[in-house]
Every structure is written in C-alpha cells, then in structure tokens.
Amino acid sequence: MGVAYPYLAILSTVIFVFIVMSVVSVSLWIIYQASNNPLVEGYSSFEWGSGGTATISIVFRLTRGHMVTFERILLSSNYGVLNISGSGTYVFGNSTFRVSYDGFDGKLFPGQEGKVIIEVTNATEAYTSGKIYRSGVFFDGGTLIVSFEP
C-alpha cells in the first residue's frame, strides 16, 4: 500500500524546509564568525604625584567578540620602551615601574573593563611634560594603542 498524497506532500515539504534551513544556518554561522572578531577599546591617563612620582592608568574594555587574554604592554618613556609582561616591579633606567591590575585577572570577557595601574618613581626623568607618549597594549585578539601626555 502506497503513501497517500497528502502525507507525501507533507513529507516533501518537511524535507525541503529542512534542507533550506540547513543552508541558511550554515550561512548565518559563517557571518557570525566573521563579525565576531574581538574589539578592545580603551584609553590611558597620566597623573603627577608627590615627590617626583607619577601614576599611569591604562583602561580597556572588550566591546565585541570572545574573551581575550592580556599579554603585555609596550610602555614608552624617555628611557625607551619598557616591556611589561605582567604585574610586578620593573626597574628601567633610573626609575621603578610598579604594575598592578584592577578589575581583571589577565582575561577580559565581553563587556568587561580592566585597568592597569603603573606607579613610576623618579618620573620627572622618565617623562617630560607636554610630550605625547604612545604605548601598545597587546592581547591575543589584537592590539590597543593608547596615548598619554604628562
């Protein structure tokens, strides 16, 4: 006994819709992947302290895409470029750079904001007022360039 006409019509419709939806799903997935590249935005500030010290704050936020991992900062100064690979104390030139994290632990999730605070001793030698310094903040999903002016 064969399958009646209405059931065959329904079957063919279901199969056709399934196939079309599969193709649409694949296309949407490709578009989703392409538009989901991480985007980190941020800024930096410089503040003079007492006794020739200064504090540099670098603030960044993952505004789009999957989680990214902080890798390092190339911090510019009058001594040259200091490679900061994590929190801790760095001696560079005649200054000491004390680095700490705030609001994140090395990983930045979508929408999360992180802050790196760099306390500099003998900052009057390390930085010159009125000069613009550009630094790079590196994540595994891209680089952020920030500038500050003492």
Partner 1 sequence: MRKARADLSGPVLTIIVTLAVVAAGLIIVGYFWWFAPHASKQAAISVLGEPALQVSYNGTIYTVDSYVTLKNDGNDNVTIQKLVLNGDDGNKYELLPIDPATGSTTTSGIILTKGSKQQITFEIGNLASNPFNNNPSYEGTILTDSGVIPVTLYVVK
Among 40, 56, 58, 120, binds partner 1 (CB under 8 A): 40
Cβ–Cβ under 8 Å, residues 73 and 136: yes
| Category of 147 on φ-ψ map: left (φ > 0), alpha (ψ -120 to 50) or beta | beta
- Residues in 5-34 at the binding interface with partner 1, rule: CB under 8 A: 5, 8-9, 11-12, 15-16, 19-20, 22-23, 26-27, 33-34
Residue 49 or 128 having the CB closest to partner 1: 128
Cβ–Cβ under 8 Å, residues 93 and 78: yes
Structure tokens, 12: 């063919």
**CA-angle at 124, arms to 122 and 127, nearest 5°:** 110
Residue 91 or 132 having the CB closest to partner 1: 132
Among 46, 54, 62, 76, binds partner 1 (CB under 8 A): 76
**CA-angle at 35, arms to 33 and 109, nearest 5°:** 85
Q: Which residues here bind partner 1, judged by CB under 8 A?
A: 2-5, 8-9, 11-12, 15-16, 19-20, 22-23, 26-27, 33-34, 37-40, 71, 74, 76, 80-81, 132-136, 138-145
